[in-house]
Amino acid sequence: MKESFVTIQNLNLKYQQKSVLKDLNWTINHGENWVLGGISGSGKTSLAKIIARQLSAIGEVKINFDFDNLLPTKALFVESWYQFKNLEGVANFYYQQRYTSQQAKDTITVHAELVGYGKENRLHLDKVEPILEALNFSSFASSQLIELSSGEHKKLQLVKALWLKPQLLIIDQPYTGLDSASRKNLNILLDEVSEDGVQLILICNDSELPSSINRFAEIKDGQLIEVDSLEQSSNPEKHAKEIPDFLKESPVYSSQNTVKMVDVNISYGKKQVLKNINWEVKAGEKWLLQGHNGSGKSTLLSLINGDHPQSYANELYLFGNRRGSGESIWDIKQHIGLISPEFHWYFDSASTVWQSIASGFYDTVGLFQQLPYTKSTQVDELVAYFGLTECKNELLSSLPLGKQRLVLLARTIIKNPELLILDEPCQGLDQQQTIHFNQLVDELCINGMTLIYVGHFESQLPTCLEKRILLENGEVKIVESLITKTRHNEVRSNLLPGTI
């Protein structure tokens, strides 16, 4: 009888004196492709790192590679996001550096990264071209790594993994930041490598999966439990909590025109990223911003955040004032609450949970002053609201990714800003956390907050959205009103046929 491909017995892992995995057992037979779902913080990523020999634990993990197979005898773990370095081997970047990197070539290009990866793993460059085309990534060959958005970094990780085709491929959150077309093409590519002999473990809670997936499991109380489908996984229900009183107050608006862009253009050399953008966001409006990966969404938001240096060369009005009329970047940020995957990358993870949330009052990446009593109380209220009381004194970096995102979401709303910019805010959150957060967004927006929400998944959108702007290749393709008086499910199903 042929041995199982992966055998895990009596696996135990503790983190900061807390048991994460408890005598966990898992057998993966040849030909099985798994999805590992469940709540954030249950130990999914830790288990994946243990299998890939990136994390030590007590117990037995045995992988029976086929040494007669031409595929690499390797368990490759693709992390939920990509940690890259500059030309000097340093990964200490700052958030705005992405938009100023054109003046100084700080990182290697996508093409150079692929060339180096190919040489390291003895891969032929001609084999990567079909993968680049399928994920609509060929046009990014000359882009520096620091210029890429979260979705584009995810694509680069996936391209390299699919090019290598290891015998065991483990992907943490494979669809993070990907548009609809890229998600579908990724599933096709995963099915193709599966036919070539690659076995898959996908860590996600998504429903649109490769057809080659034939096993499902979740981790609950440190144990791995096989289920028939993700829908059957036992996510605990969360009881709705009332939002803190200070967030029930309507924001104080400095102008009825929150954002106004007139023929805005952004170019990097010969590459035009935004083309003649005209867009107006009035106080209290709730907008959905969408577009394929690389369509210009992140650049558009960087103009509003005050982070992009080319904002001064355009006719751009923020909170009633023309950009460049004497206001500082900190004057602009006083009006804005922001969360984005890129901001999460560059945030100071050495702060505690409480300090990270409190820093939102001052728009700093760390707390550098003592809070007055009223503000301290507000931080405590948000800590309790998001269920973070037990870990409020722990370092942000010690938390699971989903809980880190909750901390930064709390930081985003702590000052009850005029404008809330939520760029894929639910990345890394489990299903219940996503529902919980979007309910909070709906409640906040009842009180008059202005919202710009970026989301690829129509099932992960708040119901308060009123208008939609769609970018395509740096241009405004569609501006439309959304039906807001329909039932919740009807809004989501009719919202965007072929959602991007």
Give domain limits for the chain: 6-232, 245-495
What's the confidence (pLDDT) of residue 491?
39
What's the confidence (pLDDT) of residue 22?
95
What's the confidence (pLDDT) of residue 9?
96
What's the confidence (pLDDT) of residue 92?
43
Distance of alpha carbon 118 from alpha carbon 139, whole angstroms: 19
Contact status, residue 397 vs residue 350, Cβ threshold 8 Å? yes
**pTM for this structure?**
0.81
With a cut of 70, which residues of the chain have pLDDT below it?
1, 81-106, 231-240, 428, 459, 483-500
Burial class (CB in 10 A: 0-12, 13-18, 19+), 481: exposed
Contact status, residue 81 vs residue 90, Cβ threshold 8 Å? no
Please tell me the CATH superfamily of domain 6-232, with its number: P-loop containing nucleotide triphosphate hydrolases (3.40.50.300)
Classify 245-495 by CATH class: alpha beta
What's the confidence (pLDDT) of residue 213?
97
What's the confidence (pLDDT) of residue 21?
95
User: Comparing C-alpha atoms, which of 21, 55, 61 is closest to residue 41?
Assistant: 21
Distance of alpha carbon 249 from alpha carbon 446, whole angstroms: 10
Q: In one letter, which amino acid is 169?
A: L
Report the relative pairing of strands 215-220 and 34-37 from DSSP bridges: parallel
Distance of alpha carbon 397 from alpha carbon 403, whole angstroms: 10
Same fold, 6-232 and 245-495: yes
What's the confidence (pLDDT) of residue 231?
63
